[in-house]
Amino acid sequence: MPDNNFTISYCIPCMNRTHHLKKVMPSIIEAANYSPPVEILVLDYNSTDDIDEYMASLRSVQLAEGNDITYLKYSKNKYYHMAHARNMVSLAARGKYLVETCVEVYLGKHFFSNIREEINRSKYKWLRFYGKKPSGIYAGIIVIEKEEFIEAGGYDERFELYGPEDRELNSRLERRGIKSRTINSTYLHPYTSSDEEKTKNYRLKLTKRQMVEKMIPYYEESVKNKALEVNRGVKWGQH
């Protein structure tokens, strides 16, 4: 019998991007209510905008039975740290499956129901999405069983800046032998903000391209060493 009762955790790290969160959240809530149980997690990574007020306003939103909106706060780092933020929100999730995503994604109504159908049909623990990008794959948006994510060590926390932390995780999951199913992004609609918007919260004031160039050596090292796990010997994703 298909199992439609597992919780899916939709993980959104956010720093000073509440104006984007306001745009996409209605679509996320609608999709979650169509196919519960879904946990929507928002991590406030030391924001200085109006995220507190906005998240408080969501308390009155009607949610389907089994659904939750979880609001997490972190204030130790002055600047955004890409991999750490992604790990922190993922470790806090209570769902069996994680949706690793960002704050720039609208969802179609059938997004979560489609995930449940695909997991039940294929029994795969890892789903990827293809769309209209030149590469064909949305590397930064995946569905992964939380247990597999933890065993792989999450995102490599050497990726402090904007960069290929998502590509590195995907390549490592492949080396670990986790079979993936690539599905159409029919119910997934990323939009693109300016490069300045994407990079404004980081420690180094560099362009997006410059940040990627600084992070690429970590990706290349991981591939060269055929890494199966990262963050060994450190407490990753911690407050």
- Measured torsion, CA atoms of residues 13, 18, 22, 24, in degrees rounded to the nearest 10: -30
The whole domain housing 218 covers: 8-224
237 belongs to a structural domain? no
- Inside any domain, residue 238: no
What integer pLDDT is reported at residue 131 of this predicted model? 73
**Cβ(163)–Cβ(110) below 8 Å:** no
Our measurement of the distance from residue 39's CA atom to the centroid of its chain's CA atoms, rounded to an integer in Å, reads 13
How is the beta sheet containing 38-45 ordered, strand by strand? 68-74, 38-45, 8-14, 97-100, 137-145, 126-130, 180-184
Whether the pLDDT of residue 133 is over 70: the answer is: no
Domain membership of residue 144 (yes or no) is yes
> Is residue 115's pLDDT more than 90?
yes
Q: How much is the average pLDDT of 212-230?
A: 98
Q: Give SS3 for 140.
A: strand
Q: How are beta strands 188-190 and 105-107 bridged, if at all?
A: antiparallel
Per-residue confidence (pLDDT) for residue 122, from 0 to 100: 87
In the block, tokens 């507190």 appear at: 52
Q: Which amino acid is at 124?
A: Y
User: Considering the domain boundaries, does residue 215 fall inside one?
Assistant: yes
Q: What CATH number corresponds to the domain at position 214? A: 3.90.550.10
Query: Do the domain assignments include residue 42?
Result: yes
pTM of this prediction exceeds 0.85? yes
pLDDT digits 0-9 by tens, 157-184: 999 999 999 999 999 999 999 999 999 8
